[in-house]
Structure 1
Amino acid sequence: EKLTAWVLQVTGTGAGTVAGDGSIIEAAASRFQEIKAEALAELVVKQREKMAASEQEAGEEKRRETEKARHDLNSLLEAQQVLEERQQQRQSRGKKGEVTINRQEPEAVIQPQKDKKRLQASYKPSVLVNELRIIIGQAVDPSSETQVVTSLLDQAQQQGVIETALFDAGYFNQQVIDATEERGIELLCPEGRSQGKDWHKQSGKYYPKSHFQYDPEQDHYRCPQGELLTCQSRYKGNATSPAYRLY
C-alpha cells in the first residue's frame, strides 16, 4: 500500500476512476496429475496401507519412508476434501457431472483456457487500475473474477475516494452492483454481451437482447419470430432487491 501510494503521488494520480478486469493463468502442475473422485479415493486407501506397512518396520530409513508416506497421504486427503466441497457446490447449483482436481495443486480449478479448446488447472487473477493503468488493487481466485471485486475496491479505497468503477459485461451481477452501491461508487457496466443487430451468439438456442424490438408506446417487445412479449407484472423493489418488469 505504501509503494502504491508513493507511485500515485509521483504520477499525480489517484483512485477517482478505476477499471477492473481479470484473466486466466495455468497452474504450475502437470495435467497428468488430474484425477476424479473415485480414483482419488482408491489412492487414499492404497496410501493408508503403505503408511501402515512402513510403521510396522524399524530403522531410520523406514522412519523416513513413514514420514514421506504420511505427507503424501495428507496431500491426498486435502485434495479429496477440496474435490468433495466443489462437487457439493456444483450440485447445489443444479449442475451435473463429475469434478476433476489436480492433486499437485488442488487449489487450482480445472477450467477452459482462453482458446476455449483446452481444460487445464488454472487460476483467475484480477486487477483494478486507475486512469494511468497503475494497479491499485489485485487478487487471485481459483475460478471467479467477480468474487474478488469487493477486495479490489477495498484495496483501491485505501488510496483515495473512488467515484466511478468500470467493468465489462462479465461482471454484471447482483454481487458487483451491491459492492459498488454500498460504497457510493458509480458503476459503469454493460448488462449484456450483444454488439448490435448483426451480432449472433455462438449458440443457436438463444437470441441476444438486441434482436428484440421494443415499442415504448405499447410497452411490449417483439421477438425475432414475430411474437409479442407484453408486460405481465411490475415489482417496485426494496432495500435488497432491484425493481423489474416481467414480460
Structure 2
Amino acid sequence: MNGFMKKIKRPVIHVESSCQVEMFVPENDVKQATAAPPGKDAVRFKDSDPRDIYLGSLCIETHLSKAGIVAPSLIRQLLSELDWSDFKCKYQAGGRPPYHPRLMMGMILYGIAKGVSSLRGLEELARTDLGCMWIGGGICPDHSIFGRFINKHRVQITGDFFMSVTRQVLERTGSDCESVAGDGTVVQAAASRFGLIKQEAARQAQHDAERSAKENPDDPEMQRKKEVADEVAKTLHRRREARRKKGKPFDHVKVSRTEPQAMHQPLKTKQRAPSYKASILANEKRIVVAAAVNPSSETKAVKPMMEDVKKLSGQMPRQGMFDAGYHCQEVIDVAMENNMDLPCPAGRTNNNGSEKKSTSKHFPKSKFVYDDQSDLYRCPAGEVLKPTEHRRGNSTEPGYVRYGTKSCAGCQLRDGCTKSAGGRKIKRYAVDEKKEALRQVMEQKGAQLRYLKRQAMVEPVFSELRYRQGLMRFRRKGTDAVRLEFFLHVSAHNLRRAAAVLSVVFLRLWLATRRYCSVYVPPPLVTASRRRSPPPGGRRFLS
C-alpha cells in the first residue's frame, strides 16, 4: 500500500423516469414532481418521485394497485409522515446531492421485511423489485452506500427513529401499550462456533498479541489485534469467576476469539454456539413496542424495555404477560414498582397458565407449604421442616434460610422426595413470598384467561422474524452492531404489520361499500379472492 486506499468509482444507476409515455394515455396517470428549491446553505437531497416511473404505458403506482400489492404504498406513506431532521443534520451542503434518508430507510426496511437483509441483496432488490422502486423513487444505491448509510445513522435507528416509527404505527392501527406480552429467543452470532478458546489459549493469544504490538508499535492492525486479545481474556476470566461464585463448573467456559461479547450457549437446535438473547414486548396487534439484546439474560432486559414503553406512550403498561422463564425477582420487582398486573406462571405450564404435573421423580418445592406465622414448612407427608441454617447474601448470591427435618429416615414417601442421606432440605429466599403470592394469583380463572392472550401476541412475532425476515443469525459482530441489526428487523416488522392491518381495514370498507351500493365499486388495493387463498407460487408479501 502507498499510504492511501484506491478510490472506487461506480456508475450511478437509476430507473428511467423521463415521462416519455405513449400517446392517448389518460391525463391523470401522468404526474409531474414539483418541489420547492432548497435554501442557499441547505443540503439538496435526491428525492425522486416514483409517479414518473412507468411500466409500459401504465404508471407503476397503478400497476401495483391493480396487482393487489399494498405494502409499498403504505410503507412509503407511513415514512413520509415522519420527521427526518435528525437524519438530515448528518449531511453537509455541497457536492453531489445525497439520497434522501426517507428513501434509503424505506428501501432497507422493505427489503428486510421481504427477507433480504444483506447489503448486496438490497442492491439487487433496488434494481429488480417494483415495490422497492416505488418506495425509493427509482434510485439504485449499491451495497457500499447502504452500508455507509446504516453506520452513519446507527444512533438514530436504535433510538428516536424506532420510537417514531412505532408511535406512528400505533396511531395508524389504533392500538396502544396498555397490555403487552414479553418473550425472548436465542439468535446465533456471526462468529463461528469452531473458533472458541478456553482460558489457557486465551492467555497465550494475549501474550502473543502483546509481543507483536510491542515489536510493531506503528502498525494499527497489530494494535487492534492486541485490544481484541485483551478483551477476550478479560471476558473469559469474568465469566469463569461468575460461574465459580455461583458454585457451577467453570473449567469448560469458552469465548469466541473474534466476537467475545457473544455468549457460548445452547441454540434452538440444541447445538451450542456463540449467540445473543433478543427480547421484545408486543401489544395485542403484534406490534413490537420495545426491544433489547443481551448476551445471556432475557430477564435483565425487562426493566429497560418497560422504560422504553413509558417513553413511547407516556405511561407504564397496565399489564405485562410473560412465560415461566420470567418468574423471578427482577421481573416481579418491576411489576410491583409500577403497579402492573403480572400474569406469569411458575414452572412448566399449560397454554392457559395452569401448572403441569411435574415430570420429576421428586416433589417440587411448590408441594411444601410454608407457614409464615410459625416460620416452618410442611411436607406432603405432613412432617414439619424447621430452620437449620441462615446464610447471608452477597453481591452475587442472595441470602436464604435452609429448612430441614429428621423424619425423612422412616418416611414412606422418601423415594419420591429425596435421595440425600440427611433428608430433604428446602431453601427459602426473600423473593419466595412474592412468588407464592403470584402463584396463588395464577390459580384464578381470570388470570389464566388473561394469560391465554400472551401466546397469540408475542410468539408469532419471533416466527415472522425468523422465517419471513430471515433472522436466523446475526450478520454483524459486537453487541452494538447486533442491537442495530435487531432494531432494523423489528422496525421492518412493525411497518409490515401496519400495512397488513391497514389493508384489512381497506378491504372491509370496500366490502361494506359494495354491499350497500347498487353500482359496482372496484376494490381499493386488495381483492377478497387474493386474501382467501395464497398464490400458487407461495405466500405473497403481506398476504
Which residue of 79, 85, 107 maps to 2:238? 85
Structure 2, unaligned runs of 5 or more: 1-162, 370-376, 388-400, 402-429, 437-543
Give the drift of 1:213. Answer: 9.1
Alpha-carbon distance between aligned partners in 2 of 1:33 and 1:149, rounded to the nearest angstrom: 31
Structure 1 window deviating more from structure 2 (129-138 vs 45-54): it is 45-54
Please tell me whether residue 126 in structure 1 is matched to residue 279 in structure 2.
yes
Q: Give yes or no for contact 2:321–2:343 (8 Å, CA) kept in 1.
A: yes
Alpha-carbon distance between aligned partners in 2 of 1:76 and 1:67, rounded to the nearest angstrom: 14
Please tell me whether residue 169 in structure 1 is matched to residue 316 in structure 2.
no
Over 3 Å counting, the alpha-carbon distance change for 1:198 and 1:146 in structure 2 is closer
Alpha-carbon distance between aligned partners in 1 of 2:188 and 2:222, rounded to the nearest angstrom: 28
Q: Give yes or no for contact 1:79–1:101 (8 Å, CA) kept in 2.
A: yes
Task: Give CA deviations for 1:37-93 in whole Å, capped at 9, x if unaligned.
Answer: 1111111112222333335xxxxxxx5xx3221211111001111111111211221
Give the drift of 1:153. Answer: 0.8
| Partner residue in 1 for 2:226 | 73
Please tell me whether residue 153 in structure 1 is matched to residue 274 in structure 2.
no
Q: Give yes or no for contact 1:167–1:188 (8 Å, CA) kept in 2.
A: yes
- How many aligned positions are there? 219
Alpha-carbon distance between aligned partners in 1 of 2:193 and 2:356, rounded to the nearest angstrom: 41
Structure showing greater Rg: 2
Alpha-carbon distance between aligned partners in 1 of 2:432 and 2:265, rounded to the nearest angstrom: 32
| Partner residue in 1 for 2:359 | 200
| Partner residue in 2 for 1:136 | 289
* SS class of match (1:138): strand
Give the drift of 1:160. Answer: 4.5
Structure 1 window deviating more from structure 2 (165-174 vs 90-99): it is 90-99
* SS class of match (1:185): coil
Over 3 Å counting, the alpha-carbon distance change for 1:229 and 1:142 in structure 2 is farther
Alpha-carbon distance between aligned partners in 2 of 1:107 and 1:171, rounded to the nearest angstrom: 23
CA RMSD of aligned residues (A): 2.8
Amino acid aligned to 2:359: H
Alpha-carbon distance between aligned partners in 2 of 1:157 and 1:231, rounded to the nearest angstrom: 45
Task: Give CA deviations for 1:143-191 in whole Å, capped at 9, x if unaligned.
Answer: 1000010011111122144111100000000110001110111111002
Q: Give yes or no for contact 2:193–2:272 (8 Å, CA) kept in 1.
A: no
Superposition pairs of residues 166-245 of structure 1, within 5 angstroms: 166-195=321-350, 199-201=358-360, 206-208=362-364, 212=367, 220-222=378-380, 227-230=381-384, 232=386, 243=433
Structure 1 window deviating more from structure 2 (166-175 vs 107-116): it is 107-116
Structure 1 window deviating more from structure 2 (43-52 vs 122-131): it is 43-52
Over 3 Å counting, the alpha-carbon distance change for 1:242 and 1:228 in structure 2 is closer
* SS class of match (1:228): coil
Give the drift of 1:30. Answer: 1.4
Over 3 Å counting, the alpha-carbon distance change for 1:154 and 1:89 in structure 2 is same
Counting helix residues as a fraction of each chain, which structure ranks higher? 2
Over 3 Å counting, the alpha-carbon distance change for 1:194 and 1:213 in structure 2 is farther
Which residue of 109, 117, 123 maps to 2:263? 109
Structure 1, unaligned runs of 5 or more: 56-62
Q: Give yes or no for contact 2:186–2:275 (8 Å, CA) kept in 1.
A: yes
Alpha-carbon distance between aligned partners in 1 of 2:236 and 2:368, rounded to the nearest angstrom: 45
Structure with the bigger RCO (C-alpha within 8 Å, sep 6+) is: 1
Q: Give yes or no for contact 2:318–2:340 (8 Å, CA) kept in 1.
A: yes
Give the drift of 1:221. Answer: 4.7
Alpha-carbon distance between aligned partners in 2 of 1:194 and 1:10, rounded to the nearest angstrom: 36
* SS class of match (2:216): helix
Q: Give yes or no for contact 1:194–1:208 (8 Å, CA) kept in 2.
A: no
| Partner residue in 2 for 1:21 | 183
Give the drift of 1:207. Answer: 3.7
Q: Give yes or no for contact 1:172–1:190 (8 Å, CA) kept in 2.
A: yes
| Partner residue in 2 for 1:34 | 196
- Scaled by the length of structure 1, the TM-score of the pair is 0.79
Structure 1 window deviating more from structure 2 (77-86 vs 164-173): it is 77-86
Q: Give yes or no for contact 2:279–2:292 (8 Å, CA) kept in 1.
A: yes
Amino acid aligned to 1:40: A
Over 3 Å counting, the alpha-carbon distance change for 1:126 and 1:68 in structure 2 is same
| Partner residue in 1 for 2:16 | none
Q: Give yes or no for contact 2:324–2:349 (8 Å, CA) kept in 1.
A: no
Task: Give CA deviations for 1:109-142 in whole Å, capped at 9, x if unaligned.
Answer: 00011133x1100000000011111100100000
- Scaled by the length of structure 2, the TM-score of the pair is 0.37
Give the drift of 1:241. Answer: 5.4
Counting strand residues as a fraction of each chain, which structure ranks higher? 1
Q: Give yes or no for contact 2:187–2:277 (8 Å, CA) kept in 1.
A: yes
Alpha-carbon distance between aligned partners in 2 of 1:81 and 1:191, rounded to the nearest angstrom: 36
